[in-house]
Structures are given as C-alpha cells and as structure tokens.
Structure 1
Amino acid sequence: MEVMGKIDQGVVSIEKDGRIVFTVDLSGRFIFYTDGNATYRRSLENKFLKITHNGNTRKLEQIPDDQAREIANSAYDFLRSSHDSLPEEIREAVSPFLDMNYEKLVLDAEKMKIIYGGDIPIVPPDQYFPVYVQAETGCSWNKCTFCRLYRDRTYGVRSLEDFSKHLHSIKEFFGKGLAARRSVFMGDANAVNIDQKVLLQMLDMIQSEFNLPIFSFVDAISTQKKKSEIHFQEMREHGLKRVYIGLESGDPGILRIFNKLMNVSEAINLVNKIKGSGINVGIILMAGAGGKKFYRNHIDNTASVISQMDLGKGDIIYISPMYEYEDTEYYKVAQDLGILSQDEKMKQIDELKAKIREEFQEFNGKPLECPIAPYDIMEAVY
C-alpha cells in the first residue's frame, strides 16, 4: 500500500493506493478528501459538500455537521497515519498541523466570519478558491424576487481606512494558506459600482497586498448608467480581469417576474461596453427560469440576447439549475408558472447550450468561441 505526497502551488496532496486522497493548504485547512466512495469539499465557512457520481450523473449535497465531523476527523487521521511514510519535504510541511481536527476547523470558520460579518453570500463557479475581499457589503438593489443572498446585509461601502484593515485581517487569517489562492474576488454584489476614484484606490490596494488577478460581480440594472467604457478601461489597468453578470434570462417577461429592472438592450450594451474595455465577462443563466409557462421563451430569447454580445475567448457562460426557495417572493409565482423537475432543468441546459451556439453563429457569421458550462449554485460557496 503505497503512500504518495506532493506540494503544488500551495496545496499539499496525500494519496494512498490511488483511492484515498486528501488535500490541504499550507495552514492545514481541509480542501478535498476522497475516501473511495465519495469526494468531500470543505468551504472556508466550514460547509461540507459531498460529491458522488452515478454513471454520468453528478450528485451534490451539503452534509450535516455530525457527518462533516466524522469525515474531517477521518481525513486528518489518514494524514497522521501517513506521515511517517511521506517524503521528507512533505513531512516537514504537514508536521505543524498534525493536530488538526473538525473542532479546529469550526474555530477557523468562526474567525473568518468575524472578518466578513457572516457568511460569504456567493462566488462564481470558477472562483471557489479566491481571496475574497469585501469592498462593499450587501447589494445596492437587493429586490430580485428569487434571491435571498443579501437579505441579512445592509448595503454599504467600506472606507479606505477600513478596507486597508480588512485586507490585513484577511492576510493574517490565511497565513501560509494564502499560497493556495489563485485570484482575488472583490465583493459583495456589485463592487464595481463604487465611486470610481475610491474603486481604483481599492484595486491598487488589493494588487499591492496580494498581486493576484481580480474578479468581481456587476449588475446590469444600475452599472449601465453609472460606468462608461473608459471607467472599465481604468479598472482593467488597475487589475480587474473579469466581471460576472447575473443575467438569469434574456426574456423580458421573466426579468419582470424576477424584478430585475433592466431591459435586454441595456444588458447587451453593458456587456459590449465591458468587452470594449478589454475586460472579460462571465454570463450567468438559470435553467428553469420562468417555469413551464416560459420554457420556450426563456431558451429562444436568451439565445437571441447572447448572440448580440461580443463574446469570445476569455469569456464564459454558466447555466445553473434554478432553486425555487419557499421563503422567496418568486416561489409563490412559480407555482402558477409550473416548476420544472431537476431532469427538465438539465434538459433545458442542453437546449440552451445548443440554441445559444446556433443563434450566435447565425447572427455573427462565426462560431461562439467561449465555453458554455453547467454548474450547480449549491457549489458556489466560499
């Protein structure tokens, strides 16, 4: 039974028999653990996701605390039992955290929540392992009928002095684990709307502290009116690499139901403005938006809108199955619209992908070069 270990880009991986794998950062924080039956991922908030596969079907679920404790302690027991068999370099790297366990992970998550004033609401699919910095709290709109991410947060922008302290607290929290982080995500919901002079100073502070590419959300409701292409050019020059837009749907009827007060031409203009500045974009769509009543409208009108966006290499389109939460205003409406089953939502993802590519080719006379990737919003935890 061979035990192998390696350190790559700030991540320590321990593997046994090609079946059991445990990865941690250089501070000993649990990242992934595979026990041969399932893979478990821990967020910095100490949420544990269980990932299993049945054929081509990927199943994802958040496990309860008692099960998370068992998994975490099993993983660290595996690390301790493997220690003496590891190469010297790996032994030295993991020795400082051989006493790690679930209880210490709980304490670590509590420290993180103090820094951010609670849980991190959401990060995009390709930003699961960034350094999250909070330039502003909450969402300046916060009225979308399907969204419950920012309910407990009062919107506000940090002062530059407070932001500087915030960045230092984050660096201290991560410690050696910072080496595993590949980017900075600037939150919360629409940080690029901050006064331009202050925003550029914040971007410079982030660059100075972390020297990593910067990503952020942008909303298509207010940003179109507040920021010009020149503004985005300045952001790019100060380190902003990609922004993510929660379009959800290109159908005006669905957008009205969602209380997203934008018209689709504004969304198109915003994306093309951002692209003109040299910044890449990520477009986030929802399969199941508008239910059965708007099933075809959602596909056709979303594809039409996407086809008019200057998307290319470096951009990405994400499609997530929608979750109709009972404590949202949209849930009541969704009953009348007809909620799609999970299988129907997955079918709609495939139909959206095909229609988007078809419409883009027809409208532009060339194929869409950016990927269209499914994801599950349940995984969008920090």
Structure 2
Amino acid sequence: MRYEGVIYRPPSEAGSLLIQATIGCPHNQCTFCAIYKRTKFRIRPVEEIKEDLLAARNYYGEGVRSIFFPDGNTIAMKTDDLCRVLDCARELFPYVERITVYGSAKFIVRKTPLEMRRLREAGLNRIHVGMESGDDTILAEIRKGATAEEMVVAGLMVKEAGMELSEYVLMGIGGPGRSREHALASAEVLNAIDPHFIRIRTFIPRPGSPLFEKCQRGEFQLVSPHGILNEIRLMIENLKVNSQVFSDHVSNYWDISGKLPEERELMLQEIDMALDIPEALLEKARHGGI
C-alpha cells in the first residue's frame, strides 16, 4: 500500500482500511483549510488503486469491514473509474459493510442521479460532506465553491441514491458578526436535507490557511467558547430533522451529541451546563489542560 503526504480521514473512519484514491483536493480554495494547500490534485490510476487493494487483502485478509478512500474529494473521480475501484474492493473484501469517501457539494452536483445510483450499486454507501455553513454570505467569504441551494441539491442526491450522508457544520466560521445567521441558515439547510448524520466542528485557525493570516492581521475575530456553545444551541433549537448529531472532534469545547428530535432537550441541557463553566476552563480543557 502506498501513501503520498499526510492522510486525513473522519474520526468515524478510525477503524477503516485507508486506500488513497486521489491526492489532494480539486477545489483547494477554502480559506479555513490548510491541509492540501501545497499539494497538486491528481487522481491515481485505477490499476494502482487496485494494486493497493490487493496488497491490503494480502496483508489483512478478507475480513475488512469498512474502507475509506482518501483524499479530499474522491467523489470527483470519473464515475466509471470509481465504480471499477468499488467493484474491486467488494470482490477482494466480501465481508465489507461500508465504503466511504469525502465529497463536496461542488462535485456531487456535477454527477447525474443515474451516476450516483451506479456508485451506490457498486458499493459506495456513505459520503462525508463538508457543508460548513448554510449562510451564502459565509460560504462566499470562505470560498467554499457551493451555495446553500447547491448544498441542499447535493445532499438530497446522496440520499436519493440510497447512500448515508454525513454533513459537517463548522461552528464559528462566520465570526461573531454572523454567528446568528450562521446558526439559523445552517439549520435551514440541514432541515431541507435531513441527513443521517450531522457532525459538529469548531473553527480553529490553521497556519498556512488564508483565514489564519486574516486572524493574525486582526481582520477576523474568533467566536468565544460561550459564543460557540450558543451558536450550537441556536442551531439545535431550530433543527427539524431525524438525524444523529455527533460532536466527535477535538476542536469542540464540549461533547454535544444525541438523536434528534428525541434527545433535543437533553442536548440543550448539556449545552446549558457547559455555559456555566468559565470560558478559560473550556479553553484549557480543549487543549488537554484538565
């Protein structure tokens, strides 16, 4: 198995076999992201990917149950090529239960519903989508490459193809000035999609990203810990979905997870409890100080 650069995967794919299908990200313009800024995007040849799948089968055996294909936007592969990779994965690993990729709305909407169904039939059954925000002003500012409407269209395409959908929301990405708009617009987009999973992340400026430079120059103000919690609270209050919410990332100040709508009140109580904790302690806890 061959890997180029640092490999990133969602926390939920910690137990998955990682086979690199693409290198970098074809969009690579998001101002908050520094992961692929120095990496030129390319798609690995199908035969190379299949060789790595065979090497993994020879090393791990047939018992692999989940596979994740990095890098940042593997859904951008030609449908025929990705189907060939998926067919190979299922042939080599007959017990595999889940095959997943990252896929942004910008590239999902370029496929047809038929292509999405073909991918599902070939074995792709979950896509991780970085929605970040439902607010068009914020989406334009962070150069996400898709509008709120396109986020909805892409999300529904994934679901209608029969795949599971994880949508990621980046709290604090609009700064204090658009915190309310971010929370309410994100809830509105999520309500229109009703994804299987909503995954909460908190914006942390990363060196090498344009937004980090803006923070350094004082042109972007971070949302305070309590501000982040209130942003999450407002979003959850306005969600009308049947989704599992996860706060499964070290960027977050507090673990706010639960099933909506059944556990909404418990989640809000958890947030209120966190809001009683001084912000300095929340910051310290996030950085492993307590």
- Give 1:168's aligned amino acid: L
Q: Say whether 1:124 aligns with 2:10.
A: yes
- Give 1:218's aligned amino acid: G
Unaligned residue ranges in structure 1 (runs of 5+): 1-111, 361-367
Q: Tell me the equivalent position of 2:71.
A: 188
Counterpart CA distance in 2 for 1:162 and 1:326 is: 33
- Give 1:305's aligned amino acid: V
For this pair of structures, how many residues does the alignment match?
248
The residue correspondences of 1:311-330 to structure 2 (distance < 5 A) are 311=195, 315-330=196-211
Partner-residue secondary structure (3-state), 2:169: strand
The residue correspondences of 1:114-263 to structure 2 (distance < 5 A) are 115-120=2-7, 122-172=8-58, 174-175=59-60, 179=63, 182-211=65-94, 212=96, 213-224=98-109, 226-263=110-147
The one of 166, 177, 183 equivalent to 1:293 is: 177
Shift of the alpha carbon at 1:336?
A: 3.0
- Asked whether the 8 Å contact 2:31–2:209 carries over to 1, the reply is yes
Shift of the alpha carbon at 1:154?
A: 2.2
Q: Between the two proteins, what is the percent identity of the paired residues?
A: 24
- Asked whether the 8 Å contact 2:68–2:99 carries over to 1, the reply is yes
Q: Deviations over 1:322-362 (max 9, x none)?
A: 1112431112434334202334323422332222x2xx2xx
Which runs of structure 1 show a deviation greater than 6 angstroms over 4 or more consecutive aligned residues? none
Unaligned residue ranges in structure 2 (runs of 5+): 253-290
The residue correspondences of 1:1-382 to structure 2 (distance < 5 A) are 115-120=2-7, 122-172=8-58, 174-175=59-60, 179=63, 182-211=65-94, 212=96, 213-224=98-109, 226-311=110-195, 315-334=196-215, 335-355=218-238, 357=239, 360=240, 368-376=241-249
Counterpart CA distance in 2 for 1:150 and 1:238 is: 28
Superposed CA RMSD: 2.1
Q: How does the TM-score come out when normalised to structure 1?
A: 0.61
Q: How does the TM-score come out when normalised to structure 2?
A: 0.79
Q: Going by fraction, where is strand more abundant, 1 or 2? A: 1
Q: Tell me the equivalent position of 2:256.
A: none
Counterpart CA distance in 1 for 2:249 and 2:229 is: 11
Counterpart CA distance in 1 for 2:70 and 2:197 is: 19
- Asked whether the 8 Å contact 1:130–1:183 carries over to 2, the reply is yes
- Asked whether the 8 Å contact 2:203–2:251 carries over to 1, the reply is no
Q: Deviations over 1:69-102 (max 9, x none)?
A: xxxxxxxxxxxxxxxxxxxxxxxxxxxxxxxxxx
Counterpart CA distance in 1 for 2:251 and 2:9 is: 11
